[in-house]
Structure 1
Amino acid sequence: MAQAGEFLAYGRQDIDADDIAAVVRALQSDFLTTGPEIDAFETEFARWTVAGHAIACSNGTTALHLALEALGVGEGDVCIVPSITFMATANAARYCGAEVQFADVDPDTGLLTAETLEAALERTGDRAKAVLPVHLAGVPCDMESIASIARKAGLKIVEDSCHAIGSLYPDGSMVGACRLGDAATFSFHPVKSLTTGEGGMITTESAELASRMARMRSHGIERDSSRFVREEGAHEPWYHEMPALGWNYRLPDINAALGRAQLARMGEFAARRRALVSAYRKGLAPLAPLVRLPDDPAGSDPCRHLMNVLIDFDAAGISRPSLMHALKARGIGTQVHYIPVHTQPYYVRRYGRMNLPGAQAHYARTLSLPLFTRMDEADVMRVCDELGAALRA
């Protein structure tokens, strides 16, 4: 529980004595990086998501980059990215030399839909190589309909699941299981549901894709003698090869140790977040229709990373900055997720101005309220009461 009167940030990590002890053990071990904690974290994460393989890396952005590169995305290709996301989703395509086609989103949920994907495909033509559905706030997209369209168009699918560890699809499978996508990426930034300080993970069902990403995260170095180009190198114990360019995207063992300790508590974290969201739904109900939390897609069971509500600022007679300042004065932190990426100066210079009404409508109304596992239902009611008071004032 947060302390009475404590400032409630929009997100905060949850570190306990077991997490600290795990990091201390890693610090006292022989390996601070590329050691046994990495293999163990990957094995345990693959088991948690029920994925075939998991590849740890330095953060969620490098996870996206590795996945796209391993899938062969490059110059001449186009990746379809929803405009409501953190800019890393689009930037990862540019790191590969590919162009970005921004897709519109549902104006309420901010999610990519089958309809907005089809519209983006029509604008892209046969250059489309991949689509990156974003499970915004931890709420899963309708992957059945998105995957159906993507497969017909020959698209690779990389699910940006950086918000969605612990979320379930309507069929009960875990986000990250890659039942419909080629890969899923995760971020372990401190405000996420699970943290390693900084860190990321990619899951996939493809052993070949997993091997390629593991090689690319460490300068592209190959140590498997069966893959060597120079056969005599197999007899030289120091020998290794770099068949393709890679990067230093490794995750240190210290971070992985923290991730393993956090993953052991992930069931507890997910249950707490779901309970807090349920409390928010009750607490926000009296503020409707000025404030509302859209319903989750039918059958899905999100483990929310963000409490991103919709507020009719015009009807409330208050601007978003004014409301955010008023809430901060009352001890309530807020944030906006996200500025539509297609409006960022870099992308406007590259592609010109675009009209994506769903993204603009979502952005105009969204505000993220506090949501972290050290909160309890009394904290939620405090947020709702202060929000109501600030709107009335």
Structure 2
Amino acid sequence: MKNCVICEVPLNNQNKSKEHIIHNAIGGSLEDDEIYCKTCNERYGSEQDKAFVQMFAPIVARINMHKTRKTKGTSYSGIMCDQDGNLYTAIYKNDKVVKLENSDSKYVKYEKGKFKTLYHHFKLDNDVFKLGISKIAFNYAVHCGIHACCLERIFNYSEKKLINNPVIIPFIPMTLFDIVMEMNPVERIFHAVRIFNNGQFLYAYVELFNTFQYYILLSEKYNFTECCNIDKSYGNIIEMNEPLDRDLLKSVTPRDYKDVDIIRSQYHINVDELLEGLKKYHNYDCCNQFKQVEMLFERIGKTAYEKIRKQSYIKEYKKLINQHYHSIDFLNVLSSFGDFKMKSIFCQTFQFYTIYDDDCVNIEKYKKNLPDGTNYSSSICKGLNSGQNWISYGHMKFHILVNRFG
């Protein structure tokens, strides 16, 4: 039995709470119910999580996103113009205009076709963003079995809270191979989180929407001789591309109580929890017995269906990287380098980061080490500390993401 990482109360079926490693509101699928108790999860996460996911509202609203739980959507703002070039401030929700004001802050009736969106406001709050990224890294580290007391560079164990000044390093491509990988759009947008060590330094790598990419230092005291080297990762696709499979839904919807027992056991469904939800939100107790059975069977079927579909979105990080790798025409890339020296440098990095016989990316080196033997995050820090300005890389990645939506 595990304890809540905040209040240390033993977790049981009554008090444990499902926590999304990457927030559900931005498309994260991986859940763990052995990190927080219900009380701490509600108090610790509500306001902080809300502020974090709200920043991504303009992106989320434009993606046909898979979510494990339905959310109402978050409002966000942007600028529109009319045919005469006049500018207006618009409030959107789920990619629809819900309010429009002119330059004098007066209400204007929105008419489709008369106004055009110029851009959405993406309000990146550094403090909120750092805390949100830190929480993803912390959750995944605990999920991977690392005790919270061993994450001293991200979590204050005595005060039981994330620290305010974590070491967060933006990913910047340091080789030509990485530049090619990053500048080619992925087929389907995904999130990823990875935890690994370089000697005694323990890091998390978090990538959201294939755009926001950061290393987070978790510890400088990782005992790799005793605990062994660690490299665990998780990824999930966030774009839906499949319609409702009615045949599959029908096949996992019970026809009788014998089916209920089989499906409940096979898909690890808590029927008592489903009944609580039906009673609380669907007037279950007001229905006759026949209707109650119908409602319960339908809810069990939908729950089993979502569990099956969820697994189709969760992918190994290594497989996601290799899918992207195989989508790139590297011979064409090589021919685009007119300079022989550039071709030679690219070939060297290509050989370092790939396994020729298997035609795949060498995940043990990818985004961890450089060909000269240094670790990736340290090299980025040296570049940033020397005054190099790589802010344009972040802009380019954001531009690639926005261009997907037209």
Using structure 2 for the length normalisation, give the TM-score. 0.24
Bigger CA radius of gyration: 2
Instruction: For CA contacts below 8 A with separation 6 or more, give which structure has more relative contact order.
Output: 1
